[in-house]
């Protein structure tokens, strides 16, 4: 055991992987939210869904994204929904904001996944499932807050960040993980003093997302708690939801089960309630 610790320590010291400057460079390369998205979000925050839909029509890629997402089976619509006015009406203020943040994250996704065996379809499905299950959790908890509903959108961001920071060091990461089982989040924390959720918080700040979103996502890391008990509890639910989705075959095969350490003691207070809710589909 002592030898393993020494070997792991040495490996962390000699492997040249992600450095603090890499994180700064990554954040600097993140573009601000496009003007059309900013304007659309502004109308949504004012409750002006009709104006938001008209504004969103200026972005053809956004229109395609919204149409594809809303017509996923998880949303349960029998007939195809294609008009943006219909889509925004169906989603409502909370759902529309959430989906727009999801779209912003797709602008960061890699052209080719290398660290994780993912593709656009897998990533899209993950976003849709997280949205759907998070909404069920909030309804179960009697919480109606568009900012809290949108908090789930930053979880996929942590996957994108991990892919971007580690993909060029895949071999080195595999060597480190072969010495001692260690998740990507812990590796980044030890190398840079900042974990994936810290980077996601910086993304949220750059895109001027509400502070509550960052607080819940930080709590969902399982490493830190919020002084706000409601947000802290929601972080526990989100931590469980992440692992629940990653336990599915496609995401195990993609390598996402190595993504983050599961803190069972952290989520014990809500574990039974979470599993009971997930059994109801």
State residue 218's pLDDT score.
Answer: 92
Q: What pTM, to 2 d.p., does this model score?
A: 0.84
Whether residue 221 lies inside any domain: the answer is yes
Whether residue 112 lies inside any domain: the answer is no
Phi, psi dihedral angles at 233 (to 5 degrees): -65, -40
Question: In sequence order, what are the residues at sequence separation of 6 or more whose Cβ sits closer than 8 angstroms to the Cβ of residue 260?
Answer: 158, 183, 184, 185, 196, 221, 222, 242, 243
Number of continuous H segments (helices) and E segments (strands) in the chain: 16, 0
Shared domain for 131 and 251, answered yes or no, is yes
**How many whole angstroms from its chain centre is CA 202?**
13
CB distance 132 to 124 below 8 Å: no
Whether residue 150 lies inside any domain: the answer is yes
Look at 188 and 281; give whichever has higher pLDDT.
188
The domain boundary, picked from 107, 125, 149, lies at 107
- Domain interval for residue 164: 2-30+117-279
Q: What is the pLDDT of residues 79-96, one digit of tens each?
A: 888 888 888 888 889 888
Shared domain for 204 and 274, answered yes or no, is yes
Question: In sequence order, what are the residues at sequence separation of 6 or more whose Cβ sits closer than 8 angstroms to the Cβ of residue 65?
Answer: 103, 106
Shared domain for 190 and 91, answered yes or no, is no
Shared domain for 78 and 155, answered yes or no, is no
Give me the number of domains the chain comprises. 2
- With cut-offs at 50, 70 and 90, classify the pLDDT of residue 224: confident
Q: Please, what's the b/e burial string for 114-152 (b: 16 or more CB within 10 A of its CB; e: otherwise)?
A: ebbebeeebbbbbbbbbbebbeebbeebeeeebbbbbbb
Whether residue 38 lies inside any domain: the answer is yes
The domain boundary, picked from 107, 138, 160, lies at 107
Q: What is the pLDDT of residues 108-123, one digit of tens each?
A: 889 899 889 998 888 8
């Amino acid at each position: 055991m002592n030898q393993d610790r020494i070997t792991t320590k040495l490996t962390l010291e000699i492997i040249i992987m992600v450095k603090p400057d890499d994180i700064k460079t990554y954040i600097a390369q993140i573009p601000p939210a496009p003007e059309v998205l900013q304007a659309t979000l502004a109308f949504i925050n004012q409750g002006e869904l009709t104006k938001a839909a008209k504004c969103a029509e200026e972005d053809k890629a956004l229109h395609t994204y919204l149409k594809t997402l809303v017509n996923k089976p998880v949303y349960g619509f029998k007939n195809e929904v294609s008009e943006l006015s219909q889509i925004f009406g169906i989603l409502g203020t909370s759902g529309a904001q959430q989906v727009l943040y999801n779209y912003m994250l797709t602008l960061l996704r890699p052209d080719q996944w290398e660290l994780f065996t993912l593709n656009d379809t897998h990533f899209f499905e993950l976003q849709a499932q997280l949205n759907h299950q998070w909404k069920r959790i909030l309804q179960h908890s009697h919480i109606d807050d568009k900012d809290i509903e949108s908090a789930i959108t930053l979880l996929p961001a942590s996957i994108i960040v991990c892919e971007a920071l580690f993909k060029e060091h895949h071999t080195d990461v595999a060597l480190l993980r072969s010495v001692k089982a260690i998740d990507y989040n812990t590796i980044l924390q030890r190398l840079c003093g900042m974990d994936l959720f810290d980077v996601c918080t910086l993304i949220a700040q750059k895109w001027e997302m509400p502070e509550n979103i960052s607080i819940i996502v930080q709590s969902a890391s399982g490493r830190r708690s919020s002084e706000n008990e409601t947000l802290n509890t929601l972080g526990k639910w989100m931590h469980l939801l992440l692992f629940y989705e990653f336990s599915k075959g496609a995401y195990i095969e993609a390598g996402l089960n190595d993504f983050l350490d599961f803190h069972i003691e952290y989520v014990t207070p809500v574990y039974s309630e979470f599993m009971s809710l997930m059994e109801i589909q």
